[in-house]
Amino acid sequence: MLKTKSPSLGPLCRLLCVGELLLALALAAPTAGVAQSGPLQDLATFPRTTLDIMHGKKKSDPANHHFDVWIADTPARQEQGLMFVRDLPASQGMLFPQAPPRTMTMWMKNTYVELDMVFVGAKGTIVKIIEHAKPLSLETLESGQPIAAVLEIRGGEAAKMGLHAGDLVSWRAPQ
């Protein structure tokens, strides 16, 4: 702590100390708050659709998997993703479609549940899976190549279902 005996420096010093405190609080606020530039949207307002992953050779194969997904179809919805969600059932997820396909980077800031990220290439097949993405992490998770969509599902589900690169992914446009 800086001490001063000069009456003219005392108020200036207090002002500078208060200014430094306010600057420190302002710089800390973005990391302590929401990683979202706008207000959070209720997931009930996101469009929904169904998504299928064909692991077998026929549509009726029991190795195929069906999901009910939210669609993150706007920049604001993609920015929000599954932030602050506390539970994600095995049959649900969120789809981040990309048109045109592009290289994607994701993170887990303010995401409380462990996720598997399934990267879907332009031909509709899984090209990469990142399993067990760590909740609340700022680590950048990358697709490594241009992709048409990212599917986020509950952590561990990709391995449990036996999903792998080459499986065919399809979804219906929301109504």
List of domains in the chain: 1-33 (no CATH), 43-171 (2.60.120.1140)
Which residues, including other chains, have CB under 8 Å from residue 52's CB and lie 6 or more apart? 59, 64, 65, 66, 67, 169, 170, 171
Which residues, including other chains, have CB under 8 Å from residue 92's CB and lie 6 or more apart? 67, 68, 69, 70, 153, 154
Q: Are 55 and 126 in contact (CB under 8 A)?
A: no
pLDDT value of residue 56: 60
Element spanning 12, H or E? helix 9-32
Least confident of 52-56, 73-77, 82-86, 162-166: 52-56
- Strand partners for 114: none
pLDDT in tens, 146-166: 999 999 999 999 999 999 999
pLDDT in tens, 20-36: 433 333 333 333 333 45
More confident residue, 17 or 71: 71
CA distances from 70 to 5, 43, 50, 145 (A): 64, 8, 9, 24
pLDDT value of residue 12: 39
Of 88, 108, 102, nearest in space to 147 by CA: 102
**Binning pLDDT at 50, 70 and 90, where does residue 58 land?**
low
